[in-house]
Chain A
Amino acid sequence: MKKTKMILGLSLVAISGLILVAADHIDAPGTMSGDASDITDVYAFQGQNTSNLVFAVNTQGLLSPNATGAATFKDNVMVEINIDNNGDNVEDLVIQAIKRDDKMYFFGPVAPGTTGTSSTIKTAAASGSVSISKYGATALTAEQNGMKFFAGPRDDPFFFDLGQFQAILGGTATGFKNPGTDTFAGTNVMSIVIEVPKSMLGSSSTVGVWAETKKKQ
């Protein structure tokens, strides 16, 4: 009975138009796979130096090896990491990254000019830049002002048997397989990785973190 109910529930979900594409891969407004605005995943973890936090923002999901060499960051798409220090889910600090020529430029952590959906680039808080790494070449990193920077193609670190989950939602399977199949195996993303001293992220013991892509109007 329980199972019947659940399968019925899953069918209703499928019918109501929920098409699950994992971890927000491929879902920004009016966009398709490979769009520079589409965030696939956000990671935030302690660095090798435990005094630092690392932020990784991945975009342009499911890039095949053949397509990765041609994938680029865009001059009109800024990636912004938002940091909330007081639990009100409003950003107190931002770190901004945007491409110019063959480099990625970084600004912050700094208080945003205005919070919310519209931003300007905090040029007075420039913190560094790094040459964008090329597909198939050694990763280029930079270290400036106590921060580390990387921008370029990477293996997609996300793993999930999305295909089987879609089959479950579609009613053609009742559970996962063992072993499962990683739908994201062998695919790449365009990554921005920033390592920041915790001391630059305010004095709170925890922070709220989210990433946004913002397009120049």
Chain B
Amino acid sequence: MSKTNKFKIITIALVAAVVSVNCDNDDSNGDSTVGLDFSGTYVQQDQMARPAINTVFVASGQPKDAFNAAIPSAMGATYQSIFQSRLLALNPAYSTNALGQTAAQLSGLLATDVLGVSKTAPTTFFDGTNVLTGRALADDVIDVELLLIFGGPTGGSNPGLTKDNVNSNDKAFGTSFPYLASAW
């Protein structure tokens, strides 16, 4: 048998194998990706983890665009000082917050935009006990952030600025998947 024929037979065998595998996929779950084009390179447009961080601490325009296009492992070095300036502009009297964080510590934490999520503890932004163990739909994340920015070491400073008095969503969440409420 010539080399060419061998090659052809192997090719046919491979093609047949691929086709039959694909058929299997089709039969088993009915959602084969065969025939769909997922090729190409996809480049970052926006990045987000914790709520409202970018918009509170990064000015609009170029710094914000750069923050959105940044990867978390590179954020801290670039944005901690920017965030600290913003924090002290928002609250010039900032000393520490209810978590005992200095301006450098709070801005250092926030500048790396990654949401810590526990696989063992309750998942919440803050529930009085657990801090940054996730973000549940009903968490009043804005009040937490206002308290940490304006509330001072006891949480009692600037009482008019530490909560927005909007404490829940305008529609009830579901207890089962997909959890989010139907559209208005």
Contacts and interface: CB of A to CB of B under 8 A. Distances in A.
Tell me the interface secondary structure of chain A in the complex: mixed
B5 interface: no
A23 interface: yes
B27 interface: no
A165 interface: yes
Contacts of A157: 137, 169, 173, 180-181
B73 A17 contact: no
Interface string B55-71: 11001110011001101
Interface residues of B, number: 84
Contacts of A116: 71
B115 interface: yes
B129 interface: no
Nearest to A2: B93
B55 A89 contact: no
A210 B183 contact: no
B43 A177 contact: no
A137 B130 CA distance: 37
Q: By DSSP majority rule, is chain B's interface helix, strand, loop, or mixed?
A: loop
A144 B43 CA distance: 28
A168 B52 contact: no
Contacts of A98: 38
Contacts of B183: 65, 68, 135-136, 153-155, 188
A25 B48 CA distance: 11
Interface string B114-137: 111111101110000000011111
B93 A56 contact: no
Interface stretch (B10-18, B84-92, B101-109): B84-92
A95 interface: no
Given A180-B166, A193-B179, A121 B38 contact: yes
Contact of B41 (A43, A65, A217): A217
Interface in A43-83: 43-48, 53-54, 56, 65, 68, 77-78, 80, 82
A111 interface: no
A186 B38 contact: no
Q: Which 3 A-B pairs have the closest CB atoms?
A: A175-B160, A214-B42, A210-B49
Interface of A: 2, 5-6, 8-10, 12-13, 16-25, 27-31, 37-39, 41-48, 53-54, 56, 65, 68, 77-78, 80, 82, 84, 88-90, 98, 100, 103, 105, 115-121, 123, 126, 128-129, 135-136, 139, 141-142, 144, 148, 150, 153-155, 157-161, 164-165, 168, 174-182, 184-188, 191, 193, 195, 198, 201, 204-217
